[in-house]
Chain A
């Protein structure tokens, strides 16, 4: 058994839009012997927008969660790439800027908390590929994804600005993970390019254009489905795929799964538990032969 503090973040919590990611994460954790203890009374990490509106408030929001996690002493793992960047950025800023740290400390003290900067925050992809490893994953596969062509989409924030475990522009961990499930990671030149992020809300045309490029890159290299490691990437590629088709007169029908869902399929976990039906572009046809 490996023990971690678990931070689902708003999206991957049981009420969130990416509840299938959180659910499938828990399901594969059981198989892999990961004990995920959800952080008590966590709040939103602030994500990217908060820091631009209220810089100090945003650091305090994230620091509260970190201070709560520090009480457990365990590494904190999150499946969300945005939470991952925000917490790591907060950690490095608190180390780098003593004046900022003093102010955050003062604010935390108003809530009877203190934070010594000792919590390591890691992405789910990191602990699964580093702490568990490909051989242990392969050993748990009961339904190999033989021949399934999967586009490995990392997006931005799991590998950049670079808090860790894989190359910022040409990462391999997700590729290798797909291979260890018996699938075939396709060539995907845009695998770390941006999906448009939250600008899908405020600047839709711009974000749809970026999403279209990803769909084009994936399908033209033969992908039957795409896997992501981020709730927002999944939303843009899946829920807005039809908007892309309308705007650019295209006909993409590429299922977009969380990597934990794909692992769950290969481990023989039921589709219901994995939330396969939560996808808007149906993945059921592509996955049919592996059930």
Chain B
């Protein structure tokens, strides 16, 4: 389904991202879709998503929930007869979706990923604060339901409260590297 308004440059935009080049060699056999544990929950199946991207349906692809249901289990990647690294392609689409501000409104995974990345880039993850902030930010009511799980995990020392700290020199080094990476250009 190629629309008149199709964005012809989209295939190149995706293809230019590391991991995105597989979009050009897919033969639409559907092995990825058949191998995906979550294909039935996606608005568009994995193979459909590639077809849409090739038809230039940028808005539809980047605002889809499909890539946010990717579990990174890599089953599609190891089974693809063309060697498309589909999981990496999904990650590339997630990245574009966030960059273009087109994130699907009803999936909470992008919020979770953003928060996770926020803590990672400080060097280490406090699992407790990460989870707590996520629940409060997305659905405070759910944090009530999670109390029994959290209680058991805390009782069994199964969740980190304090994050492990880097040395001061290490933190400075990490910040210098990430600041430099943030300077214009991105990874394309």
Most buried by B among A54, A61, A103: A54
Tell me which residues across on chain B come within 8 A of A47, comparing CB atoms.
116, 120
Interface size class of B (residues with CB under 8 A): 35 or more
Q: Are A57 and B125 in contact (CB under 8 A)?
A: no
Q: Is B37 an interface residue (CB 8 A)?
A: yes
Tell me which residues across on chain B come within 8 A of A18, comparing CB atoms.
158
Select one of B77, B109, B170, B174 contacting A199, CB under 8 A.
B109
Tell me which residues across on chain B come within 8 A of A10, comparing CB atoms.
124-125, 127, 160, 163-164
Q: Are B74 and A111 in contact (CB under 8 A)?
A: no
Interface string of A42-67 (1 = CB under 8 A from B): 01101111111111111111001000
For the complex formed, measure the closest distance between the CB of A261 and the CB atoms of chain B, giving whole angstroms.
Answer: 14
Known contacts A107-B181, A156-B72; 8 further A-B pairs (Cβ under 8 A) = A10-B127, A41-B167, A50-B120, A156-B73, A199-B69, A201-B131, A210-B37, A240-B149
Q: Are B180 and A106 in contact (CB under 8 A)?
A: yes
Interface string of A98-123 (1 = CB under 8 A from B): 01100110111111110000000000
Instruction: Give CA–CA (A26, B62) in the complex, Å.
Output: 44
- Name the segment of A124-132, A161-169, A178-186 touching the other chain: A161-169
Q: Are B166 and A41 in contact (CB under 8 A)?
A: yes
Q: Are A199 and B71 in contact (CB under 8 A)?
A: yes
Instruction: Give CA–CA (A112, B78) in the complex, Å.
Output: 37
Tell me which residues across on chain B come within 8 A of A110, comparing CB atoms.
176-177, 179-180
Q: Are A44 and B125 in contact (CB under 8 A)?
A: yes
Q: Smallest CB-CB separation from B37: which chain A residue?
A: A194
Tell me which residues across on chain A come within 8 A of B92, comparing CB atoms.
55
Counted as pairs of residues, one from A and one from B, with CB atoms less than 8 Å apart, the total is 217
Q: Is A277 an interface residue (CB 8 A)?
A: yes
Interface size class of A (residues with CB under 8 A): 35 or more
Instruction: Give CA–CA (A85, B169) in the complex, Å.
Output: 27
Instruction: Give CA–CA (A169, B21) in the complex, Å.
Output: 25
Q: Is B117 an interface residue (CB 8 A)?
A: yes
Within 8 A of B (CB), among A264-283: 277-280
Q: Are A239 and B180 in contact (CB under 8 A)?
A: no
Chain A at the B interface: SS class: helix
Q: Are A53 and B160 in contact (CB under 8 A)?
A: no
Within 8 A of B (CB), among A56-90: 56-61, 64, 85, 89
Q: Are B77 and A16 in contact (CB under 8 A)?
A: no
For the complex formed, measure the closest distance between the CB of A167 and the CB atoms of chain B, giving whole angstroms.
Answer: 10
Within 8 A of A (CB), among B117-167: 117, 119-121, 123-125, 127, 131, 134, 138, 148-149, 152-153, 156-164, 166-167
Q: Are A242 and B116 in contact (CB under 8 A)?
A: no
Tell me which residues across on chain A come within 8 A of B124, comparing CB atoms.
10, 43-44
Q: Are B181 and A17 in contact (CB under 8 A)?
A: no
Most buried by A among B41, B73, B188: B73
For the complex formed, measure the closest distance between the CB of B12 and the CB atoms of chain A, giving whole angstroms.
Answer: 15
Q: A47-B120, A64-B174, A278-B157 are contacts. A56–B181 as well, Cβ < 8 Å? A: yes
Q: Is B28 an interface residue (CB 8 A)?
A: no
Instruction: Give CA–CA (A161, B79) in the complex, Å.
Output: 10
Interface string of B59-98 (1 = CB under 8 A from A): 0000000000101111101100000010110011011001
Q: Are B157 and A52 in contact (CB under 8 A)?
A: no
